[in-house]
Amino acid sequence: MSKLCALTLASLLGACTGRPGALDAPPAAHPRASASAAPAGVPPASSASATGASASALAGVKLAPAVFGGPGKRSVLGANGVVVSAEPFATHAGVSVLEAGGNAVDAAVATALALAVTHPSAGNLGGGGFALVRPPAGPTVALDFRETAPSSLTRPSFDAMIAAKGSGPVAAGVPGSVAGLLLAERRFGRLPLERVFAPAVALARDGVILSREEAGLLAAHWNTLSLDAAARGVFGDAHGAPLRPGARLKQPKLAALLAELVARGESAFYAGPAGESLVRASGGKISLADLAAYRALERDPIRVRYRGLEVETMPPPSAGGLVLAGTLRALERLGPEPRPGAESAEMLHFFLELSRRAQALRRFSVVDPDALEPAARDALVARFLDPEALAAVPIDPEHATPSERIHPLYADALRELEHTTHVSAVDADGMVVSLTTTLSASFGAKVMVPATGVLLGNAVASFSSMGDNLPLPGRRTTSSMAPTLVLREGRPLFVLGTPGGDTIPSTLGLLVMRLVDERMPLDDAVDAPRVHHGFVPDAVRYEAARPLPKDVLDALKAKGHRLNRSRAAQGDASVIALTTGPLNEAGYADPREGPGLALAAKAPAAEQTQPNP
User: How far is it, in rounded angstroms, from Cα 612 to Cα 5?
Assistant: 20
User: How far is it, in rounded angstroms, from Cα 63 to Cα 66?
Assistant: 9
User: How far is it, in rounded angstroms, from Cα 318 to Cα 323?
Assistant: 9
Quick check: helix, strand or coil at residue 462?
helix
User: How far is it, in rounded angstroms, from Cα 118 to Cα 331?
Assistant: 39
Catalytic, out of 313, 420, 452, 477: 420
Cis peptide leading into 549, omega within 30 of 0? Answer: no
Residue 142's H or E segment, with its range, is strand 141-145
146 to 163, 257, 286, 482: CA distances (angstroms): 23, 21, 15, 12
Please, what sign has the CA dihedral across residues 48, 49, 53, 56? Answer: negative
Please, what sign has the CA dihedral across residues 530, 533, 536, 539? Answer: positive
CA atoms within 13 A on the CB side of 38: 24
List of residues 6+ apart from 40 with CB closer than 8 A = none
Greatest pairwise CA separation for the chain in angstroms: 70
Residue 420's H or E segment, with its range, is strand 419-427
User: How far is it, in rounded angstroms, from Cα 345 to Cα 101?
Assistant: 48
What is the number of residues in the chain?
Answer: 613
The torsion region of residue 202 among left (phi > 0), alpha (psi -120 to 50) and beta comes to alpha
Count of CB atoms situated within 10 Å of the CB of 96: 27
The torsion region of residue 374 among left (phi > 0), alpha (psi -120 to 50) and beta comes to alpha
Catalytic annotation present for 436: no
Quick check: helix, strand or coil at residue 602?
coil
63-80 burial code (b ≥16 CB/10 A, e <16): bebbebbbbbbbbbbbbb
- Active-site residue list: 420
